């Protein structure tokens, strides 16, 4: 397949090429790879727009530009676009979050203000309306998270591909880009990797994603392409990444999921952040929505070699006084019941041995013999089950990448480069990242939308 060019085409535009069915798409396969690109050189008309990268940002940019009547070529290095989108959210695809703009921006930290123009043009309601129009109904779940209604993530990816094909976008896969061509401060096309093939265009949109999940094509190529034409890159690092814990008892609780708990991060003995929700234990440490959100501050602290503790409040609905009354009631109500069996009413079974080991209270001790001192320590443990954080998983296991193209070098109202004319950026390649909850995908769609229409309205 490396010596073939794969092009996604509409079902009715079959021509004389061999047509095969591949993962829900019609694929036109040309057996002569080099000749298939021959018409892209100087003898052929330029494309109005070349989009580098076929993730959600790239597909949105390409489709919107094509709807405005522009000739658009989308170049994707993998065998088909949208691979990372197809696995997002454990296959469920958390598309966005149904909250107000101010709260939405807050989840991006200090760089959130950069997204205001893109969100003013294309935000949550517009995205949901667009998705519905192409056959992806959505629904709101816990935490205002918006998911496809009955549509798994792989089908969302396939539907977006079908949509851009319908708009007239030409897709060429297995086509990594090695260089953005610049002349007199203006982007004029791209050069394909591993060949002398040059593709000319009036505008270029760079939407290659970050460095997380490299098996889907996100290998940081866009940072190199942007840096080569003069852009400053904020050093990429993992964001929304599982945390590593070095504690022997973790073997006993591998696979345990906790819901409705508070997790707090303490850095150099100072409480710095807290999140409420769901988390999971693994053989290496912890993960889950609240852990991924907290990981942003933890990664930075690890980089500066600070001391980090993670504290879990297993009973956040009860303050210390209420919890003490609850424990006292249980011990009085079940005076002959063993401490182990009383803990069954308070904890998941996997946590009970850990609790008993750390508190050093005998498993068979009856409730009537639990002392005030032991009850106090149980209460404190339930409100503060803590352990040190020793590291984080590598960037290729992160959901998204923190860092990227310096936002000070990008026009927020158009997504155009401030350094190179007719060069636009969209999605995770930019230095924008947010908490888990649908915020990052919305940013990808919104910046892609803005980059696409901005590139389409620039005079040739």
CATH code at 27? 3.50.50.60
Mark out the alpha helices in 229-360 (DSSP H runs): 250-253, 289-303, 320-333, 339-343, 352-359
Tell me: do 151 and 24 sit in the same domain. Answer: yes
Tell me: do 212 and 287 sit in the same domain. Answer: no
Tell me: do 215 and 253 sit in the same domain. Answer: no
Name every residue whose Cβ is closer than 8 Å to that of residue 175 and which is 6 or more positions away in sequence: 5, 75, 76, 77, 192
3 state SS of 252: helix
Per-residue pLDDT at 26 = 30
Angstrom distance (rounded) from CA 223 to CA 209: 9
Q: How far is CA 343 from CA 4, 325, 367, 379, 433, in A?
A: 63, 15, 10, 12, 41
Structure tokens at 5: 């060019």
Say if 411 falls within a structural domain.
yes
Bridge partners (DSSP) listed for residue 22 = 25
Tell me: do 430 and 355 sit in the same domain. Answer: no
pTM, rounded to two decimals:
0.83
Structure tokens at 168: 């007239």
Per-residue pLDDT at 42 = 46
Angstrom distance (rounded) from CA 295 to CA 298: 5
Tell me: do 334 and 441 sit in the same domain. Answer: no
Tell me: do 256 and 224 sit in the same domain. Answer: no
Tell me: do 212 and 332 sit in the same domain. Answer: no
Name every residue whose Cβ is closer than 8 Å to that of residue 349 and which is 6 or more positions away in sequence: none
Q: Helices 439-457 and 56-67, interaxial angle, to 10°? A: 30
Helix (H) or strand (E) holding 456: helix 439-457
Angstrom distance (rounded) from CA 439 to CA 381: 34
Helix (H) or strand (E) holding 178: strand 177-183
Spans in the chain with pLDDT lower than 50: 1-36, 38-44
Q: Is 216 exposed, middle or buried (0-12, 13-18, 19+ CB in 10 A)?
A: middle
Say if 397 falls within a structural domain.
no
Say if 302 falls within a structural domain.
yes
Q: Which of 364, 392, 420 is the last residue of a domain?
A: 392
Q: DSSP class of residue 290?
A: H
Angstrom distance (rounded) from CA 34 to CA 18: 17
Say if 19 falls within a structural domain.
yes
Q: Is 16 exposed, middle or buried (0-12, 13-18, 19+ CB in 10 A)?
A: exposed
Tell me: do 189 and 272 sit in the same domain. Answer: no
Per-residue pLDDT at 35 = 43
Range of the domain at 344: 242-392
> Could you identify the residue written with the tokens 């003013």?
120
Tell me: do 233 and 262 sit in the same domain. Answer: no
Evaluate whether 71 touches 49 at the Cβ level (below 8 Å).
yes
Number of domains forming the structure of the chain: 2
Tell me: do 209 and 163 sit in the same domain. Answer: yes
Say if 437 falls within a structural domain.
yes
Say if 83 falls within a structural domain.
yes
Tell me: do 233 and 313 sit in the same domain. Answer: no
3 state SS of 239: strand
One-character DSSP codes across 347-393? S-GGGHHHHHHHHT--TT-BGGG--HHHHHHHHHHHH-EEEEEEEE-
Say if 398 falls within a structural domain.
no
Per-residue pLDDT at 31 = 31
Say if 438 falls within a structural domain.
yes
Length of the chain: 460
Tell me: do 251 and 230 sit in the same domain. Answer: no
- Cα dihedral 89, 93, 96, 99, rounded to 10, equals -70
Q: How far is CA 432 from CA 55, 110, 153, 209, 436, in A?
A: 16, 9, 23, 11, 13
Q: Which of 366, 392, 418 is the last residue of a domain?
A: 392
Long-range CB contacts (within 8 A, 24+) of 344-351: 346/315, 346/382, 347/314, 347/382, 348/256, 348/258, 350/252, 350/253, 350/255, 350/256, 351/253, 351/256, 351/314, 351/385
């Amino acid at each position: 397949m490396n010596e073939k060019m794969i092009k996604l085409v509409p079902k009715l535009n079959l021509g004389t090429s061999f047509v095969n069915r591949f993962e829900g798409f019609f694929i036109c396969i040309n057996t002569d790879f080099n000749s298939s690109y021959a018409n892209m050189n100087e003898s052929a008309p330029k494309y109005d727009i070349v989009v580098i990268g076929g993730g959600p940002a790239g597909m949105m940019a390409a489709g919107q530009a094509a709807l405005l009547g522009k000739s658009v070529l989308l170049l994707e290095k993998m065998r088909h676009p949208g691979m990372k989108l197809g696995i997002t959210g454990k296959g469920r695809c958390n598309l966005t979050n149904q909250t107000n703009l101010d709260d939405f921006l807050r989840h991006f930290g200090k760089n959130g203000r950069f997204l205001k123009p893109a969100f003013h043009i294309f935000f949550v309601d517009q995205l949901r309306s667009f998705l519905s129009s192409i056959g992806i109904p959505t629904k709101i779940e816990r935490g205002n998270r918006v998911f496809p209604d009955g549509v798994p993530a792989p089908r969302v990816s396939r539907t977006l591909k079908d949509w851009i094909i319908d708009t007239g976008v030409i897709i060429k896969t297995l086509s990594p880009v090695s260089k953005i061509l610049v002349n007199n401060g203006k982007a004029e096309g791209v050069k394909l990797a591993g060949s002398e093939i040059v593709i000319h265009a009036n505008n270029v949109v760079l939407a290659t994603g970050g460095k997380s999940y490299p098996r889907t094509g996100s290998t940081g190529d866009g940072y190199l392409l942007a840096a080569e034409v003069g852009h400053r890159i904020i050093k990429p690092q993992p964001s929304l990444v599982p945390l590593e814990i070095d504690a022997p008892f973790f073997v006993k609780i591998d696979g345990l999921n906790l819901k409705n708990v508070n997790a707090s991060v303490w850095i150099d003995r100072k409480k710095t952040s807290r999140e409420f929700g769901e988390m999971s234990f693994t053989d290496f440490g912890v993960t889950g929505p609240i852990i991924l959100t907290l990981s942003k501050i933890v990664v930075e602290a690890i980089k500066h070699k600070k001391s980090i503790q993670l504290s879990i409040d297993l009973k956040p609905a009860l303050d210390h006084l209420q919890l003490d009354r609850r424990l006292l009631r249980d011990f009085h109500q079940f005076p002959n019941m063993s401490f182990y069996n009383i803990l069954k009413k308070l904890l998941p079974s996997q946590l009970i041995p850990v609790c008993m080991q750390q508190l050093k209270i005998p498993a068979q001790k009856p409730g009537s013999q639990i002392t005030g001192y032991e009850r106090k320590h149980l209460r404190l443990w339930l409100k503060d089950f803590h352990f040190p954080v020793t590291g984080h998983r590598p960037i290729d296991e992160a959901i998204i990448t923190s860092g990227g193209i310096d936002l000070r070098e990008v026009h927020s109202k158009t997504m155009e480069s401030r350094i190179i004319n007719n060069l636009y950026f969209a999605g995770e390649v930019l230095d924008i990242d947010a908490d888990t909850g649908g915020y990052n995908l919305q940013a990808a769609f919104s910046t892609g939308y803005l980059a696409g229409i901005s590139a389409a309205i620039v005079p040739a």
